Amino acid sequence: MKKKSILIFTIMSIASASFAENKDLKEQSANPLLQPWTGPYNGIPAFDKVKEEYFIPAFEAAFAEKKAELQKIASNKEAPDFKNTIEAMEKAGATLNRVRAIYDIWSSNLNTPTMTAIQEKIEPLIAAFNDEIVQNKPLFLRIEKVCNDTVGKKYSVEQHQLLKRYYNDFVLAGAKLSDADKAKVAVINSRLATLFTQFSKNQLADENEKFIEIKNESEMAGLPADLKSAYAKNAKERGKSTWTIANTRSAVEPFLTFANNRELRKQVWTMFINRGDNGDANDNNKIIPEILKLRYERAKLMGFATFAHQKLSDKMAKTPEATMKLMESVWPAAIARVKEEVADMQKIADKENAGIKIEPWDYRYYAEKVRKEKYDLDQNEVKQYLQLEKLREGMFFVAGELFNLSFTQVHDVPVFHPDVTVYKVEDKTTHKLKGIWYFDPYARTGKRSGAWMTAYREQEKLSGNVTTIVSNNCNYIKGSGNDPVLISWDDATTLFHEFGHALHGLCSDVTYPTISGTNVARDYVEFPSQVLERWLPTATVLQKYAMHYKTGHPLPQSLLEKLNNASKFNQGFETTEYLSSALVDMKIHLAGDKVTDPDQFEKETLAALNMPSEIVMRHRLPQFGHIFSSDGYAAGYYSYLWSDVISADATEAFTEAGGLYDKNIANKLYRNVFSVGASIDESTGYRNFRGHDPDVKALMRSRGFPDK
């Protein structure tokens, strides 16, 4: 153990040598990353003082501080008890938590070549430091002693949950292994940290560097004016005088939906689905097999059949077999619906004498034509009412109706980018501060793709009444000048989804940070976000906050009825696109170390599943950051479906009571789900809310599939 700790800090010192010469870092106290967060709202991050060169020295000091705190706990001569061991560990590492929070913001939102180089040095060191903690035998023995010595102790349910979390986390990380096997795990984790960083670096490079330039405006026929404007703005940022389609989902999917030029649709689609798979310096196919092999080796050391078995051992699903049963029960209905959808598209293409067979780059385009024909619904017409800022107000309204929260923009808080706005969140009745919400909605170079929620600080009561700080980060295309930003229906759904995660953090009311907010089982964490999506289509939101960007008129009743009539439209595509990724994720991790060619595995697995040729996975393996940029969602992408079963069932609790704004059901949802974090077992919490376990038939009904 001592050799490892010496090695860690020797490497850290070498890594930071070039930075140590910086005149701004004459002493550690000059590094703002190491300072407590001060100012209003229980303290806020000093984003205006952050510089990239501060990160490595800050980590060096924060590691040393936490190491000393944990060593003090491990060497305590007093008999281990909940307070001097578990609660002491909860309080340890405050500086490191702050440093890590800001580091994650910079690496996800403001990545530069310098920041990437810092990540490449830091990530293996973080992995090594985490291994040193879980492999600290005296520390683990104290945790184990407290867990075993519960007879006669008056622990609360929350304390029991925290004990279980600590014990399981340490055991699953290798705390009970032999010294030799612990050393092997440490080597594996260090290498994985490097590979994860490289995978993300390659994916971001493809998204930042590749684009399609369009020089003739006639080739953009079919695109709405706001999209043309956004593509022109992107071109200007790249030093072009025409239009460019960036290699990001927010830029590509609207183009595939509206562009009449089929050849250009194919080019844009091909660029996007080949991220990380171009046989160049950014290709991820060589990285994936090594990640899989290392995960398998680590799982075997821990006594599990595969990484998937290890990963699910402490989740709601418990086993890969349980997840496969759920996914395979939905899959036949999904691909059957795809055949119906494709047939409808082909009829329109034939009627137009297009002379084509529907291909993946045609799906979104012809789906819109079918939507128009079947439901007289034009998504571009709907988009004119979907102003980003108005929808944000609609989210605040829903938060107020469900959870009695108010959001007020504040201007006394530094931000990490000019696009970011900040809001204080309070209880509407008592005006008690619940937390701070940062909103970072727009795409930019150096920002990872997609949309996400982050907790900069967890809510807790152990160290006083500490309120949370959360953010939502998206990649919507920013318009030109002062034009309102219009987003698609899918993007609006994503907006509400991510806000659901934020509300899960903001509503938290527990004692201990480790089990606060969104720190629940991975296959439960998507439930609060997915259930919040259900409020977007309500008349209450749309007729008040969906305002035409030119006339200011609210979305008319006739258009609302069309939206409701088409609510289950295209569910074959939506379900199959997602579920194919979830199935491949689980199958590739059940394959152990056998996969040497990810492209071949993907192709053969999809063929065995009878994957419709007109659709590709939502995330192909070479760009599947959910499962290859960290262990986070690896063998866990199924969790969106698992959670949606719960969200569909929960929605029926509202409809059975009379509607989605029923105060009694909303209060039960708050008390048993949104406010409790993991302070109670997730299944127990849901049963307390619903009165029974979630029913998969609710999911089938919500998607318009047969529920038999």
Whether the CB-CB separation of 51 and 34 falls below 8 Å is answered with no
Whether the CB-CB separation of 208 and 445 falls below 8 Å is answered with yes
3-state secondary structure of 474: strand
Whether the CB-CB separation of 76 and 139 falls below 8 Å is answered with no
Closest C-alpha among 631, 277, 249 to residue 449: 249
Whether the CB-CB separation of 526 and 637 falls below 8 Å is answered with no
Radius of gyration of the chain measured on its C-alpha atoms:
25
> b/e string for 108-120 if b means 16 or more Cβ within 10 A?
bbbbeeebbebbe
Alpha carbon 246 to chain centroid, angstroms = 21
Distance (Å, rounded) from C-alpha 359 to C-alpha 262? Answer: 10
Q: How many Cα neighbours within 13 Å face the side chain of 291?
A: 29
Beta-strand pair 433-442/421-427: antiparallel
DSSP states along 477-505: PP-STTPPPB--HHHHHHHHHHHHHHHHH
Whether the CB-CB separation of 189 and 127 falls below 8 Å is answered with yes
Question: Which strand ranges, in their side-by-side order, compose the sheet holding 433-442?
Answer: 405-410, 421-427, 433-442, 468-476, 452-457
Distance (Å, rounded) from C-alpha 444 to C-alpha 438? Answer: 17
Distance (Å, rounded) from C-alpha 673 to C-alpha 520? Answer: 10
Distance (Å, rounded) from C-alpha 541 to C-alpha 648? Answer: 19
Q: What share of the chain is helix, strand, coil (3-state, %, to 5)?
A: 60, 5, 35
Q: Provide the total of helices (H) and of strands (E) in the chain, helices listed first.
A: 29, 7
Q: What is the amino acid identity at position 504? A: H
Beta-strand pair 433-442/468-476: parallel
Whether the CB-CB separation of 371 and 566 falls below 8 Å is answered with yes
Query: Would you name the residues annotated as active-site residues?
Result: 498
Query: Which helix H or strand E contains 172, and what residues bound it?
Result: helix 157-172
Q: What is the amino acid identity at position 692? A: H
Distance (Å, rounded) from C-alpha 342 to C-alpha 491? Answer: 23
Distance (Å, rounded) from C-alpha 48 to C-alpha 628? Answer: 32
Alpha carbon 374 to chain centroid, angstroms = 34
Distance (Å, rounded) from C-alpha 253 to C-alpha 85? Answer: 51
Query: Which helix H or strand E contains 246, and what residues bound it?
Result: strand 243-246
In the numeric block, which tokens belong to residue 696? 């998969």
Question: For 458-588, where are the E strands, in sequence order?
Answer: 468-476
In Å, how far are 95, 205, 236, 545, 591 from 111, measured between CA atoms? 22, 11, 21, 34, 34
Whether the CB-CB separation of 521 and 467 falls below 8 Å is answered with no
Q: How many Cα neighbours within 13 Å face the side chain of 637?
A: 25
Alpha carbon 9 to chain centroid, angstroms = 32
